[in-house]
C-alpha cells in the first residue's frame, strides 16, 4: 500500500524533470530526430532501432540526476520505456 511519501517523491520527480531535460537537450534532440527519421511513412518504431541515441539520453538523465541528488531514470522514465519497447 502506498503512503504519503510515495506521492511526495513522485511530485518531486515530476517537478525536477525540466531541470534534467534541460541538461540533456542535445541527447533528447538526437533521440527525437532518430525516432522521427526512422518512423517516416508507415515504418513503425521497433526496439533497438535508436538504441545508441536512447542509451546516450538515458546516461545523460542518470548523470544529471546524480548531480541533482535525484535518481530519476532508474525508477521512472527509462524503466517504463524499456519495459514497453
Residue 68 lies in a domain: yes
Residue 1, in any domain of the structure: no
pLDDT in tens, 3-55: 667 777 777 777 877 877 888 999 999 999 999 998 888 788 788 889 999 99
Find the domain containing 20 and state its range.
7-42+50-83
Would you say residue 11 lies in a domain? yes
Q: How many domains does the chain have?
A: 1
Q: Would you state the torsion angle of the CA atoms of residues 64, 38, 47, 65, taken in this order, to the nearest 10 degrees?
A: 0
Classify residue 19: in a domain, yes or no.
Answer: yes
Q: What is the pLDDT of residues 50-60, one digit of tens each?
A: 999 999 999 99
> pTM for this one?
0.63
Question: Angle at which helices 77-84 and 51-67 pack, to 10 degrees?
Answer: 160
Question: Between 29 and 78, whose confidence is greater?
Answer: 29
Amino acid at each position: 500500500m502506498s503512503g504519503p511519501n510515495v506521492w511526495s517523491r513522485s511530485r518531486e520527480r515530476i517537478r525536477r524533470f525540466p531541470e534534467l531535460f534541460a541538461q540533456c537537450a542535445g541527447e533528447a534532440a538526437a533521440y527525437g530526430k532518430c525516432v522521427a527519421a526512422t518512423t517516416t511513412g508507415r515504418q513503425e518504431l521497433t526496439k533497438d532501432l535508436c538504441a545508441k541515441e536512447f542509451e546516450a539520453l538515458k546516461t545523460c538523465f542518470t548523470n544529471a540526476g546524480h548531480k541533482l541528488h535525484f535518481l530519476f531514470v532508474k525508477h521512472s522514465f527509462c524503466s517504463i520505456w524499456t519495459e514497453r519497447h
